[in-house]
Structures are given as structure tokens and as C-alpha cells.
Amino acid sequence: MGETMTILMIAAIAAALVVASLIRRAGREECLVVTRHRRILRTASGSTTVAVPGFHEVLEWPTGQLEVAVVVRSRTLDEQDVRVLATAAVEIDPPRIGDAYVDPHAVLYSALERRIAEAVRARPAEWLTDDQAGLRSALVGVRVDGLVRGVVADVVIDEVDLLLHPGRPDHESF
């Protein structure tokens, strides 16, 4: 009888471990995305979900605002080379069932990088930090569409650096 109890205890522990490996819980400020072959099957926000290891992959998706720090080097409307450091808060849309899963951080970084570069090219250098016509006003409220969708809720322009190039034909000696 003692040997049977030992076997039953080992089987019960093994079953508990298998069940525990199937269950995942979403943390605060995130939802879980269950994928198979990197296609989104379902999402679980603020709850638990079941996924079979090796068959499903459970990945995290941020909810609420996601802060993305971006560094962009571009040329202004008046032909000045600048480097812009900005931090954007983006309200991300939830992932859609059937879409391919992509890392929202990397995709948003690329999308914001393009948007900031476009905004820099459309303005002279002296306007970049202006409250009314500067980069912040050009980016807040902009819809980011693509592999990850969302709206830019806020932008902080941390730094705008004018890049000097000694020896260029348009450079004047002092």
C-alpha cells in the first residue's frame, strides 16, 4: 500500500506541474496574446489563459500608454542637420485576432522615427522646439498605423542638437 501511495503522490505532483505550465496570468498594464505560428489566436486581459507549451506561445502585449524613446537624425527645411531625442507616450490599440504578432516596442519605434523625421524635414531648425509650430504640436494626436496601431498621446522633446560639419561648402569659417 505504501508503494501505491508514493506512486499516486508522484503522479499528482506531476499532474499539478503540467496544469501549472498550461496556465498563464496577465500582469498589470498588459494583456496576454496567445499565438500559434506567430498568428494571434486570442487575447487575455486581466485574466488567466491556457496554452499548450510547444503548440502555443504566450506573449505579453502592453495596455494603456507605452513610452517609447526615439533618437532621429534628419535635415530640416532650411538644410540644417539635427539630432532629435524625444519620448512619446502612445495609446496602443489591442491586437487583432488573426494578425501576425509583432513586437509593439520595435514597430512603434520605427513608426515614430519616420513621423519625427517627416516633421523635422517640414520645419526650419528654429521652429523645432516652438510650442505652437514645433515637433510636439506636429506629433501629439497623430494616429500611428501599420503593424501596430495607436495614437500619440504626448511627446516630450528631450533634446534637439544642431550638428555642425566643418569643411562643408556651406560652412563659414569664424
Instruction: Output the CA–CA distances (angstroms, integers) from residue 5 to 9, 10, 18, 19, 91, in the order listed.
Output: 6, 9, 20, 21, 55
In three-state secondary structure terms, 15 is helix
Strands (E) across 81-137 are located at 81-92
Q: At residue 2, what is the residue type?
A: G
pLDDT of residue 173: 46
The tens digit of pLDDT for each residue in 116-169 reads: 999 999 999 888 888 788 888 888 988 887 778 889 999 998 998 888 876 555
Instruction: Output the CA–CA distances (angstroms, integers) from residue 56 to 48, 53, 101, 103, in the order listed.
Output: 15, 6, 13, 17
Q: Taking a C-beta distance cutoff of 8 angstroms, is the pair 104, 92 a contact?
A: yes
Say how far apart CA 57 and CA 30 lie, in whole Å: 16
Residues 6+ apart with CB under 8 A from 14: none
Angle of CA points 30, 36, 37, to nearest 5°: 115
Q: Nine-digit cell at 78?
A: 532650411
Q: Taking a C-beta distance cutoff of 8 angstroms, is the pair 88, 139 a contact?
A: yes
pLDDT of residue 53: 73
Worst-scoring range by mean pLDDT, 12-16, 111-115, 162-166?
A: 162-166
Name the pTM for this structure.
0.71
Higher-confidence residue: 58 or 110? Answer: 110
Percent of the chain at pLDDT > 70 equals: 91
The tens digit of pLDDT for each residue in 51-64 reads: 777 777 777 788 87
